[in-house]
Amino acid sequence: MTAILAKPAVPASVAPHDDDMVICVRGLRNQFGEQVVHEHLDLDVRRGEILGVVGGSGTGKSVLLRSIIGLQTPSAGEVTVFGEQMLGREETEARNVRRRWGVLFQNGALFSTLTVAENVQVPLREYYRRLDATLLDEIAGYKIAMSGLGPEAGPKYPSELSGGMRKRAALARALSLDPELLFLDEPTAGLDPIGAAAFDSLIKSLKDILGLTVFLITHDLDTLYAICDRVAVIADRKVVAVGTIPELLALDQPWIQEYFNGPRGRTAAKGAETLHEEAEERASRAAPPAVQADARG
């Protein structure tokens, strides 16, 4: 697999249809007044991967997310999710695709007048109108537990939670409809390093257990190294490169070099290397030495 560097936009009409492609964006353009945020932006997200999306502040990562989920109407381009065209689609049809994803917004976006459990129940009430109160409570409790919160969090209001708990509550709501695809916008921003690492492992476990595909916007280099299968880099209004971190590091692209090879990038790489060595050492200690196996045989 090779990283792609600044390839020209592919017209949507020739975009490949592939069952393994969960999200396919072609020739996206977003403009606010005079400001062009995206132009000729292409991106593919493959089934079962965690795709990290990085780029400087204001490069349009959140606008890209909003364009994919239909909260922002682009001025040009095509967006396909699960093989379904999303732009200009009938509301009822779009709803059927929307129920297959969950979103954790950059600011959490919990309803402040609802408790955590009630927040988690909002999408359930929207899509399953006939669920009774007991079942709604049960499902909410289950989602709250999945997001790593204790049952005492359910009756609390967002203002009664810490920042880290709010992120987990927002994750519980994003998981409420058993999504196949999860959008996360800066999920570890504002968390302490231990809380951020715990959140990373939670996302990784959920992805492994539930087979999720994850679109993950982040500035957190540790998160990129710890859980992302590939990383897409946004600069100059488009995706300038996408690949694994070693593939990106091999590219002669100034922002990528500065980002990954700057002091923070090097520290994150070192941390990832140490964790990898520790895991290998634990695995080798756990495995019975070959000589013992021979002696037993």
- Chain residues that interact with ligand ATP, rule: CB under 6 A: 32, 37, 55, 57-63, 106
Nearer CB in complex with ligand ATP: 9/189: 189
Q: Is the dihedral angle over the CA atoms 183, 186, 192, 197 positive or is it negative? A: positive
Q: State the nearest-atom distance from the C-beta of 133 to ligand ATP, in Å.
A: 37
Could you say which of Mg ion, ligand ATP, none residue 60 binds, taking C-beta under 5 to 8 angstroms by partner kind?
ligand ATP
Nearer CB in complex with ligand ATP: 58/155: 58
Nearest partner of 224 among 32, 19, 87, 53, judged by Cα: 53
Q: What is the distance between the alpha carbons of residues 216 and 221, in angstroms, rounded to a whole number?
A: 12
Is the distance from CB of 78 to CB of 84 less than 8 angstroms?
A: no
Nearer CB in complex with Mg ion: 23/37: 37
Q: State the nearest-atom distance from the C-beta of 116 to ligand ATP, in Å.
A: 25
| CB-based burial, 16-55: b 16+ in 10 Å, e otherwise | eeeeebbbbbbbbbbeeeeeebbbbbbbbbebebbbbbbb
Could you say which of ligand ATP, Mg ion, none residue 230 binds, taking C-beta under 5 to 8 angstroms by partner kind?
none
Residue 1: both structure tokens together: 């697999």
Tell me, rounded to whole angstroms, the distance of Cα 138 from its chain centroid: 26
Q: State the nearest-atom distance from the C-beta of 112 to ligand ATP, in Å.
A: 21
Nearer CB in complex with ligand ATP: 59/115: 59
Q: Which chain residues interact with Mg ion by CB under 5 A? A: 62, 106
Could you say which of Mg ion, ligand ATP, none residue 50 binds, taking C-beta under 5 to 8 angstroms by partner kind?
none
Q: Beta partners for 25? A: 43, 79
Q: State the nearest-atom distance from the C-beta of 63 to ligand ATP, in Å.
A: 4
Nearer CB in complex with ligand ATP: 60/243: 60
Could you say which of Mg ion, ligand ATP, none residue 57 binds, taking C-beta under 5 to 8 angstroms by partner kind?
ligand ATP
Q: What is the distance between the alpha carbons of residues 291 and 260, in angstroms, rounded to a whole number?
A: 43
Q: State the nearest-atom distance from the C-beta of 245 to Mg ion, in Å.
A: 21
Residue 94 CB partners (closer than 8 Å, separation 6+): 70, 86
Is the distance from CB of 42 to CB of 6 less than 8 angstroms?
A: no
Residue 58 CB neighbour total at 10 angstroms: 10
Q: State the nearest-atom distance from the C-beta of 32 to ligand ATP, in Å.
A: 4
Could you say which of Mg ion, ligand ATP, none residue 111 binds, taking C-beta under 5 to 8 angstroms by partner kind?
none
Could you say which of Mg ion, ligand ATP, none residue 163 binds, taking C-beta under 5 to 8 angstroms by partner kind?
none
Nearer CB in complex with Mg ion: 106/244: 106
